[in-house]
């Protein structure tokens, strides 16, 4: 395993969406570093009983792979790091591996992807140079068997592959990885029609920086959000911020067309005293809210149309894992098949779920953001709420902390030389009410922002405005997207 608007209204869309269309997929990682786990056939039955229809392994153990036969569960199998050199150097070895570990089971076992290695860049055995040749040889073996369209080849990458991850817009890969492995891997993924697997753990960032990162921000709870100083986008959870750092790093290398799948993410239900935030309550909130965020759809602030598929880590607590106590306590289930905590894993379960809504005491400047950008949301919560019909757009709203003078100047500019359409906020018009400076300035600045195709820098007005990703609504007036 690798390593704030205060109003409730902006989170209605994030947490109480009744429309589950265009959502991503949720699977689980089935790790087995333990001596007390159920037989694989029982594990498969447990998954089916919970509505889990995707699973990811860390090897290709035939007993386990066979257990998934005719189960309806789509499976990701893995090639351990210690085999990469052989797979990379000998196409014959790759051919034999695919024949014995894939073709022998497919299609009775619905294998849909092969993870070549795991977090190879941080492997002490230094197998990085073997990664892309191994991926190519495995893909070539699949091509020979006409399985390359059905079964994708990728490799899980840890967030530590990034040189910079904050702010998200500054995301970049480590310089020493770019030419030797990142670009060749992205070229391969693009040519093979595959995707990048990434392992993302907000827990690690929170535990190491709990003095500046809000727990609510890390757990998808209600929080004021954090504005990215580079592009003006506002983030309401650390997970999205970390994913967008990956997207930004890929975009910098001109590979922003590749899909990203989150091959691991999770939160421990127990940990050592210094592992701040490790608890059952926090694990339930993180994983439950994450499932909700994935299944209800919607992209990230940087890529509003991206649909994320996520594999939770992990199915079970694993008692033989080394390292801190948390490593043994990422499971959704105990080895006796009882739940560690109750969260939804399917759309049906989501409809009845009541968790994840609490809010702890406000944390100023949470998430490492500038405290000046953690506004109260322009009073939007007090004037109506948020539409539940967001379609991946962004809007520009007033920052009520900037003061009346700045807001008035912004309003005057937008409606004047800025060329915004301000007819709707004239007396008697549809958006005149509520007749407040915040509401009118938001309407005008948003009109200017949309008119300028939501270009970076067109929602600033000297700090009087910021970008949001959920539809703002003042009274009965919903801000338009064009």
What are the pLDDT digits (tens) for 356-397?
A: 655 433 322 223 332 222 222 222 222 233 333 334 578 888
Q: Is 264 designated active site?
A: yes
pLDDT number for residue 3 = 44
Residue 170 has pLDDT above 80, yes or no: yes
Please confirm, yes or no, whether 39 is among the known catalytic residues.
no
Q: pLDDT confidence of 1, banded at 50, 70, 90?
A: low
Q: Which residue has the higher pLDDT, 154 or 474?
A: 154
275-293 average pLDDT score: 96
What residues contact residue 352 under an 8 Å CB cut-off, 6+ apart? 344
Q: Are strands 152-154 and 172-173 parallel, antiparallel or unpaired?
A: unpaired
Q: In the Cβ-directed half-sphere of 110, how many Cα atoms lie within 13 Å? A: 8
Angle at 90 between CA 87 and CA 94, to 5 degrees: 45
> Do 334 and 340 touch, CB atoms closer than 8 A?
yes
- pLDDT of 171 > 60? The answer is yes
d(C-alpha 273, C-alpha 453), whole Å: 49
Contact status, residue 296 vs residue 23, Cβ threshold 8 Å: yes
pLDDT at residue 377 in the model: 28
Query: What pLDDT is attached to residue 203?
Result: 97
Q: How far apart are CA 148 and CA 405, in angstroms?
A: 62
Mean of per-residue pLDDT scores for the chain? 86
pLDDT at 375: 25
Mean pLDDT of 460-481: 83
- CA dist., res. 432 & res. 222, Å (int): 29
Q: For residues 228 and 222, is the Cβ–Cβ distance under 8 A?
A: no
When pLDDT is averaged across residues 8-25 and rounded to a whole number, the result is 49
pLDDT at 460: 79
191 neighbors 136 (Cβ within 8 angstroms): no
Write down the pLDDT at residue 392.
53
In this structure, the number of other CB atoms found within 10 A of the CB of residue 233 comes to 27
User: Average pLDDT in the 145-156 region?
Assistant: 98
Ranges of each domain in the chain: 26-56+155-351, 395-478
The stretch 106-114 carries a mean pLDDT of 98
Question: By C-alpha distance, which of 344, 298, 289 is closest to 21?
Answer: 298
Measured between alpha carbons, how far is 67 from 109 in angstroms, rounded to an integer?
Answer: 8
What is the C-alpha to C-alpha distance for residues 480 and 78, in angstroms, rounded to an integer?
A: 47
Is pLDDT at 107 greater than 60 in this prediction? yes
Q: Does domain 26-56+155-351 have CATH number 3.20.20.80?
A: yes
Residue 4, Cα to own-chain centre: how many angstroms? Answer: 18
- CA 256 – CA 253 distance, rounded (Å): 8
Categorize the per-residue pLDDT at 455 as very low, low, confident or very high, splitting at 50, 70 and 90.
confident
Catalytic residue among 45, 179, 264, 327: 264
**30 burial type by CB count under 10 A (0-12 exposed, 13-18 middle, 19+ buried):** buried
Residue percentage of the chain with pLDDT more than 90: 67
Low-confidence winner among 27-41, 158-172, 350-364 (lowest mean pLDDT): 350-364
C-alpha to C-alpha distance for 149 and 192, rounded to whole angstroms: 8
Which whole number is the average pLDDT over 221-244?
Answer: 94
Is pLDDT above 70 for 207?
yes
Burial class (CB within 10 angstroms; exposed 0-12, middle 13-18, buried 19+) of 300? buried
The confidence score (pLDDT) of residue 356 equals 67
Strands (E), 268-369: 309-312
Place of tokens 């127990």: 270
Measured CA to CA, the distance from residue 204 to residue 202 in angstroms comes to 5
User: How many C-beta atoms lie closer than 10 Å to residue 56's C-beta?
Assistant: 27
The more confidently predicted of residues 15 and 73 is 73
Q: What is the mean pLDDT of residues 140-155?
A: 98
pLDDT at 15: 41
Question: Measuring CA to CA, which residue among 201, 226, 234, 396 is closest to residue 301?
Answer: 234
226-227 and 234-235 strand pairing: antiparallel
Q: pTM to 2 decimals?
A: 0.72
Is the distance from CB of 172 to CB of 214 less than 8 angstroms? no
* Beta-carbon contacts of residue 67 (< 8 Å; ≥ 6 apart): 39, 40, 41, 43, 44
Which candidate in 39, 82, 112, 119 is catalytic?
A: 119
Residue 155: is its pLDDT beyond 90?
Answer: yes
Q: What percent of the chain has pLDDT over 70?
A: 87
Q: How confident is the model at residue 124 (pLDDT cuts 50, 70, 90)?
A: confident
Supply the pLDDT for residue 394.
80
């Amino acid at each position: 395993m690798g390593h704030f608007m205060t109003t409730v209204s902006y989170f209605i869309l994030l947490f109480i969406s009744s429309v589950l269309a265009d959502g991503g997929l949720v699977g689980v990682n089935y790790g087995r570093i333990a001596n007390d786990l159920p037989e694989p056939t029982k594990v498969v039955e447990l998954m089916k009983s919970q509505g889990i229809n995707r699973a990811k392994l860390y090897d290709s153990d035939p007993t386990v792979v066979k257990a998934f036969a005719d189960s309806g569960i789509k499976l990701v199998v893995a090639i351990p790091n210690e085999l990469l050199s052989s797979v990379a150097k000998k196409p014959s070895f790759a051919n034999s591996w695919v024949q014995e570990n894939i073709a022998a089971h497919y299609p009775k076992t619905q294998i849909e992807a092969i993870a070549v290695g795991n977090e190879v860049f941080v492997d002490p055995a230094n197998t990085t140079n073997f990664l892309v040749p191994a991926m190519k040889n495995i893909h070539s073996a699949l091509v020979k068997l006409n399985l390359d369209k059905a079964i994708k080849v990728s490799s899980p990458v840890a967030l530590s592959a990034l040189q910079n991850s904050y702010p998200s817009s500054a995301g970049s890969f480590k310089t020493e990885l770019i030419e030797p492995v990142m670009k060749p891997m992205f070229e391969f993924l693009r040519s093979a029609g595959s995707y990048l697997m990434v392992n993302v753990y907000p827990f690690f960032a929170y535990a190491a920086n709990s003095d500046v990162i809000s727990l609510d921000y890390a757990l998808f709870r209600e929080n004021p959000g954090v504005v990215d100083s580079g592009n003006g986008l506002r983030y309401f959870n650390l997970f999205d911020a970390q994913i967008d750092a990956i997207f930004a790093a890929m975009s910098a290398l001109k590979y922003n067309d590749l899909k990203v799948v989150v091959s691991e993410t999770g939160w421990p239900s127990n940990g050592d005293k210094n592992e701040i935030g490790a608890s059952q309550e926090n694990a339930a909130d993180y994983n439950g809210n994450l499932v909700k965020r994935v299944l209800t759809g919607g992209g990230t602030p940087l890529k509003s149309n991206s649909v994320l598929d996520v594999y939770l880590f992990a199915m079970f607590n694993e008692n033989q894992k080394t390292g801190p106590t948390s490593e043994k306590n990422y499971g959704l289930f105990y080895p006796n098949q009882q739940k560690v905590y109750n969260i939804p894993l399917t759309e049906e379960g989501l409809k009845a779920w009541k968790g994840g809504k609490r809010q702890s005491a406000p944390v100023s400047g949470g998430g490492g953001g500038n405290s000046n950008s953690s506004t109260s949301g322009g009073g939007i919560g007090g004037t109506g709420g948020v539409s539940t019909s967001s379609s991946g757009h962004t809007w520009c709203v007033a920052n009520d902390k900037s003061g009346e003078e700045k807001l008035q100047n912004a309003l005057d500019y937008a409606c004047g030389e800025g060329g915004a359409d301000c007819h709707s906020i004239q007396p008697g018009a549809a958006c005149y009410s509520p007749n407040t400076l915040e509401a009118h300035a938001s309407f005008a600045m948003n009109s200017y922002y949309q008119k300028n195709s939501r270009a970076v820098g067109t929602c600033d007005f000297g700090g009087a405005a910021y970008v949001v990703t959920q539809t703002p609504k003042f009274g009965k007036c919903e801000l338009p997207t064009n």
